[in-house]
Amino acid sequence: MEASHTTKRAKRASALQKQTGALSFHIRPYEDKDFHRVRELFCQGMMGLARPLFYSTVSRPSNLLIMVATLALIYICTSSLLAAIGGVMSVLLALYYCCWFAYSSYVTAMLNSQMANIREHFVERPGSCFLVAETTCCDETTGRGGGGDVVGTLALVSSTQDPGACEMFRMVVDDRYSRRGIASCLVDAVLQRAREHGYRLCQLKTTMVQRPAIALYKKKGFVITKEALYTNGHSFFMLLIKLIIYEMEYVF
């Protein structure tokens, strides 16, 4: 009985063990020793989105118009091209700050709430889990190739609104290990947990600039169910950014 149990567990572990090129990794539940690394990955993943948001903001016709108008107005008033360019640079800096702020305010809020007690918020709640992807040694005989680095995370939490639904959070993969199938494995593992818990629906939120994530979720069978404008107090700046939030759903 015990032997068959062990075999089953070994089979499951090997199913979650992946080897992509030189990198091999496995998916395992979060442990307290991962705390700092998981928070670091979360910060890196979220703050890395400020730049694509900035590019998308700057290329919006209304913002291009603001920059041209600023340039023309300052030039007409001062006859100084340098002052006009300075004015446009200030607008660009202000826009970059808005993009940075949109994510940094979210990151700070999360680090001080959910991510301050990962165990309590994601691990110990019934019907929830927090999984990490960890590199394993490439060569098990020599032990060479490194291992033991947490390079990806994904959490599942039961919905507070709907007892039959769960929500996915904290999908992040270290960008040095991107396109190796790590996120794909994490999503598969979390959806499997959700199935075992008997959920009928899995929900998540993402933003328009998270194109790799949106492609990943669509590939896994999620569909966009709602689009909304992100507003967070600083409504004037948020209007310049026009950050769209997508709500996505997976039906089991």
Ligand X SMILES: CC(C)(COP(=O)(O)OP(=O)(O)OC[C@H]1O[C@@H](n2cnc3c(N)ncnc32)[C@H](O)[C@@H]1OP(=O)(O)O)[C@@H](O)C(=O)NCCC(=O)NCCS
Among 219, 224, 225, 252, binds ligand X (CB under 6 A): 219
226 binds ligand X (CB under 6 A): no
Site for ligand X in 154-173 (CB under 6 A): 171-173
Bridge partners (DSSP) listed for residue 91: none
Tell me the per-residue interface mask from 42 to 61 with ligand X, x by CB under 6 A, - otherwise.
---x--x-------------
Minimal distance in Å, beta carbon 110 to ligand X? 12
The CA radius of gyration of the chain, in Å to the nearest whole number, is 22
Torsion of CA 23, 29, 34, 38, to 10 degrees: 80
118 binds ligand X (CB under 6 A): no
Q: Which is nearer to ligand X, 220 or 234 (CB)?
A: 220
Q: What is the DSSP letter of 69?
A: H
189 binds ligand X (CB under 6 A): no
User: What is the per-residue DSSP string for 136-165?
Assistant: E-S-TTT-TT----EEEEEEEEE-SS-TTE
The window from 56-64, 102-110, 188-196, 211-219 that contacts ligand X (CB under 6 A) reads 211-219
Q: Which is nearer to ligand X, 170 or 193 (CB)?
A: 170
Please say whether the beta carbons of 206 and 246 come within 8 A.
Answer: yes
27 binds ligand X (CB under 6 A): no
Q: What are phi and psi of 3, to 5 degrees?
A: -65, -40
Angstrom distance (rounded) from CA 52 to CA 95: 12
Residue ranges binding ligand X (CB under 6 A):
45, 48, 171-173, 178-184, 206, 210-213, 215-216, 219
